[in-house]
């Protein structure tokens, strides 16, 4: 759309008047509150469909998997922000979310695109292995990284991967199409040969692998770490209220700061 075009805003999400709030056609007060749990409602808001029990379990597993991993940079940024501006909890949460970008948590969406491409290519080439081989070789030749593979801390294999795949297999192929997990593992198997080192599947590829399996839309994948991290940021900030670390982190971080006076940028 062009900026300033004379268009009317539209939505399918919510209509309300003095007596009623309808969400995607359902009455919030009588049909949703008390009937859906929060992650199921999130699925309903995003897709218009309530998840079945299997899809619900898979979705919960991904949100639990990615929510919390300690004092990562975005949590530190959030705690420092809260220490400096305690009047504004929402600002500290926002600061934390702003660090959920392409380098760290954004990988989930890129990895999802890779898995979708692998499955599409497999139809052409006859097998996931051939598709993985082709895609990985192509990315390597282009000097690209593989989103969702390798982890600075979990060198062997991110333990969350097996946990997520375990849940997805438990709920079964009817609830969660295993194709994207298979693609993820086909890619993982090819990497050592092409990249010359074993970059194992990490949580950022495992999440789209199972969520695409339940039909979760690929353009909403980036929302998964954002929603999950909000939960964890709130927990960190509640802890920060009682046991502050924000300024201590800033102090520790610069104990060995190298100042290059007169240096140019």
Q: Which is nearer to its own copies, 84 or 125 (CB)?
A: 84
Shortest Cβ distance from residue 126 to its own copies (Å)? 32
Q: Which is nearer to its own copies, 4 or 143 (CB)?
A: 4
Cβ count near 182 (within 10 Å): 19
> Which residue in the block uniquely carries the two structure tokens 């959030």?
78
**Which has the closest alpha carbon to 79: 38, 211, 52, 70?**
70
Q: Which is nearer to its own copies, 11 or 196 (CB)?
A: 11
Shortest Cβ distance from residue 130 to its own copies (Å)? 30
How many Cα atoms are found within 13 Å in the side-chain-facing hemisphere of 27? Answer: 5
Q: Which is nearer to its own copies, 133 or 158 (CB)?
A: 158
Shortest Cβ distance from residue 179 to its own copies (Å)? 21
Shortest Cβ distance from residue 10 to its own copies (Å)? 4
d(CA 92, CA 245): 14
Q: Which is nearer to its own copies, 124 or 153 (CB)?
A: 153
Cβ count near 4 (within 10 Å): 6
Shortest Cβ distance from residue 173 to its own copies (Å)? 17
Please list, residue by residue across 67-83, b when 16 or more beta carbons sit within 10 angstroms of its beta carbon and e when fewer do: bebeebebbbbbbbbbb
């Amino acid at each position: 759309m062009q900026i300033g075009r004379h268009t009317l805003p539209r939505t399918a999400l919510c209509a309300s008047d003095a007596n009623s709030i309808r969400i995607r056609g359902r009455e919030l007060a009588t049909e949703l509150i008390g009937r859906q749990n929060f992650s199921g409602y999130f699925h309903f808001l995003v897709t218009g469909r309530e998840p079945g029990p299997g899809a619900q379990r898979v979705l919960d597993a991904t949100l639990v998997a990615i929510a919390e991993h300690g004092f990562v940079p975005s949590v530190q940024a959030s705690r420092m922000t809260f220490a400096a501006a305690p009047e504004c909890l929402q600002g500290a949460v926002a600061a934390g979310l702003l660090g959920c970008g392409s380098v760290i948590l954004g990988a989930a969406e890129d990895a999802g695109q890779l898995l979708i491409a692998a499955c599409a290519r497999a139809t052409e080439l006859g097998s996931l292995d051939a598709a993985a081989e082709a895609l990985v070789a192509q990315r390597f030749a282009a000097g690209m990284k593989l989103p969702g593979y390798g982890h600075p801390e979990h060198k062997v294999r991110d333990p969350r991967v097996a946990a997520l795949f375990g849940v997805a297999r438990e709920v079964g192929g009817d609830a969660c199409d295993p194709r994207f997990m298979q693609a993820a593992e086909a890619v993982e198997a090819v990497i050592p040969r092409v990249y010359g080192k074993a970059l194992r599947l990490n949580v950022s590829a495992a999440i789209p692998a199972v969520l695409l399996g339940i039909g979760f839309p690929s353009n909403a994948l980036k929302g998964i770490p954002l929603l999950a991290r909000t939960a964890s940021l709130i927990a960190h900030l509640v802890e920060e209220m009682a046991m502050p670390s924000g300024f201590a982190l800033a102090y520790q971080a610069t104990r060995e700061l190298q100042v290059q006076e007169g240096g140019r940028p």
